[in-house]
Structure 1
């Protein structure tokens, strides 16, 4: 069953906080949910499906359904795929709506890594101590003993891409530059200062060849989206954002047997999403690309097919991702690189800014003219190694 045209994103809300010492994670989830429901013109009592991932506290969906007083929920989904979870949830919500199981789905994300929550980038399982055995993920006992971290893994991807294709640090830096040009107009962005290529490559090294400014910010915060049936969407006095296509896929090294650091799961999620949506790359006016690191964006753009493999460096250079300047405006809220990256994932913000662009509600300085079709993509886990990808294409309904 295709989900094309079977569901609509009718509410979207990004929590304005980036530092929440006085709020719990549950509060951030609930406040984000309230904001998205008000944006859609709905109430908590209208929600009959709830979606969350590992950032939800307690027993996840059970705890949050109780905390938010969701009396009419009859469908829950706690699929956990890291930063791509929320695009996966959007796909699953559309599937449930298309099957006639639910009418109003709520998806939430929230985290407090700046105030006691887990910070992104640290080793898992064995507590981060080299040599420690792990009762967590099975691969941790083989990898964490060497002090592995998220930063190291992405650094290896960047280094291999440079070796294979001649990609440069200056080309990667253009991704941060583009994000900063957009973030300057976002009053809630964690980093608002515009940076140059020189600023990026001269910032301190974190995991060779990735510099500090190649890495995402660490913030508290949250967000939520509301997905509805066409019938509910028609009853609401809000711009209608229709989901055209979606796909998800994991990419695993299979114990090292299939380890290739130069591509990501977007090679599998891109083609079926475009096919289901019935659009081409030339139709995409805006792209929200998960940007945990600059290399994440570059590899994703290649693997989604916006440029040939190995040509990502040239594609992103010279401001080609800047709204009003380049050929493919991306992350016009500033993205994870400058705006917001709560908990250790920020995938829901990719949906939220895509919805803003399609509604014509992005900041006037970054709003893409005639933005009728847009793409959002999430990456969860470790790029190029062990991760899950999810892609969604949406359209503004006239």
Structure 2
């Protein structure tokens, strides 16, 4: 990754901002709450966790899959008057992609404290899932694929999984290893929605939904809200929590439709990862914990390869025998991920929150010892957008 050239401006931003507060709310099943109420509960908790008040927030970022102007009602609901606003919607990667623009706003003095938040009552909402799918297709048309009425996003990922199997010999057992590892981490996390024991055979015997992906290869449908607060590094040192510095961040988009991918086994995480690592001045070997957007088991394999934790085609072998489970060679998705912890439509913010909690030593039974660096990676659409963040404690600066 050393061949990537980083501009002096980006290098100067390394470590200039820190995450001072994080929170989740209503993860799992929370009947009676709307998207906005889940967002607001998480937002207030994250601001309090940072040792701040809502009146201190003068930067605001959010996104929604079901509303094109979501920032405005969210600002109104929270009673904010921010000087910096970002409503960029890139799918589940949005909340990791929000980092770098927010760092620039902080560095320029445009604002002093940025709140990034998300909420979705996808599981409990009275508005039916079929109606949600229909509305999203209207808001986000994909003309060359929608004409065939595919089961998106599931069938797009199944297509990619099939190609990875054909090209590299990846097996359903390799995919099952990802699901079982996520469940093993979730069993250690009181907040995780799915904590029942699960083994490889359970996954292989589960109902097929889009060959080669079974129901256990697919993420949860849950409710949940998440939020974090970003401030300048010097301010973070005066706040209650151990600062978690943003060392690198990058976002990439190569396509919207899965059928437009040049190579079904290679995502633009290759680009976002390389640029984030270059900004951070680190390499995959320097990362202690990894939080990946695991909407489907194939995602984890793809991102382990594209982010440089193993060579292309070798992720199946990498995850074998509990390679990413507790006690394995690399701690991945230590909260249980989207497969077993929480997935309310878009998961990226929860990957970032878990990375912060691990760095702050707040993981409880799932805490990985000696964590000083972490990677959080978001994915949006059907392998359409990728955003990578490298985080670290003061020792990593």
TM-score normalized with structure 2 length: 0.92
Query: Aligned equivalents of 1:67 and 1:58: distance in 2?
Result: 16
Q: CA RMSD in A?
A: 2.0
Aligned residues of 2:96 and 2:389 also touching (Cα < 8 A): yes
- The answer to whether the aligner puts 1:388 opposite 2:385 as a matched pair is yes
- Contact 2:293 2:338 (C-alpha < 8 Å) held by counterparts: yes
Alpha-carbon contact 1:123-1:147 (below 8 Å) kept: no
Q: 1:234 to 1:56 in 2, by over 3 A?
A: farther
Q: Note if 1:45 corresponds to 2:55.
A: yes
Partner of 2:3: none
| d(CA) in 2 for partners of 1:338, 1:120 | 23
Q: Structure 1 residues 83 and 181, CA, compared in 2 at 3 Å: closer, same or farther? A: same
Contact 2:27 2:193 (C-alpha < 8 Å) held by counterparts: no
In 2, Cα distance between the equivalents of 1:213 and 1:152? 15
Larger deviation, residues 84-93 vs 15-24: 15-24
The change in CA–CA distance for 1:123 and 1:237 in structure 2 (over 3 A counts) is closer
2: CA distance between counterparts of 1:256 and 1:211? Answer: 22
Structure 2 match to 1:109: 118
Unmatched tracts of structure 1, length 5 or more: 128-134
State the match for 2:4 in structure 1. none
Gaps of 5+ in 2: 1-8
1:93 to 91, 94, 102: 102
Tell me how many residue pairs correspond in the alignment: 383
Aligned mates of 2:286, 2:208 — CA distance in 1? 38
Aligned residue number for residue 332 of structure 1: 334
Structure 2 matches for 1:88-167, cutoff 5 A? 88-116=97-125, 119=129, 136-139=139-142, 141-148=143-150, 149-167=152-170
Superposition map of 1:224-235 within 5 A = 224-235=227-238
Q: Trace 1:1-398 onto structure 2 (pairs within 5 A).
A: 1-2=9-10, 3-55=13-65, 59-71=69-81, 73-116=82-125, 119=129, 136-139=139-142, 141-148=143-150, 149-252=152-255, 259-323=262-326, 325-342=327-344, 344-363=345-364, 365-383=365-383, 387-397=384-394
Deviation for aligned residue 1:193: 1.2
User: Residue 50 of structure 1 aligns to a residue in which SS?
Assistant: strand
Aligned to 1:15, the other structure's residue is in SS state: strand
Q: Which moved more, 1:141-150 or 1:51-60?
A: 51-60
User: What do residues 146-193 of structure 1 show as CA deviations (whole Å, max 9, x unaligned)?
Assistant: 121111100000000000000000011111111111111222211001
CA change 1:392–1:204 in 2 (3 A) is same
Structure 1 CA distance for aligned equivalents of residues 173 and 131 of structure 2: 23
CA contact (8 A) 1:56 1:64 kept: no
Shift of 1:234: 2.1
Contact 1:123 1:144 in 2 (8 A): no
Taking structure 1 as reference, are residues 152 and 105 closer, same or farther at Cα in structure 2, changes over 3 Å only? same
Q: CA deviation at 1:57?
A: 5.6
Secondary structure of 2:393's partner?
strand
C-alpha separation between the residues in 2 aligned to 1:112 and 1:162? Answer: 35
- Equivalent position SS for 2:64: coil
Please say if residues 156 and 258 of structure 2, whose CA atoms lie closer than 8 Å, have aligned partners that are also in contact. no
Instruction: Name the CA shift for 1:306/1:17 in 2 (closer, same or farther; >3 Å).
Output: closer
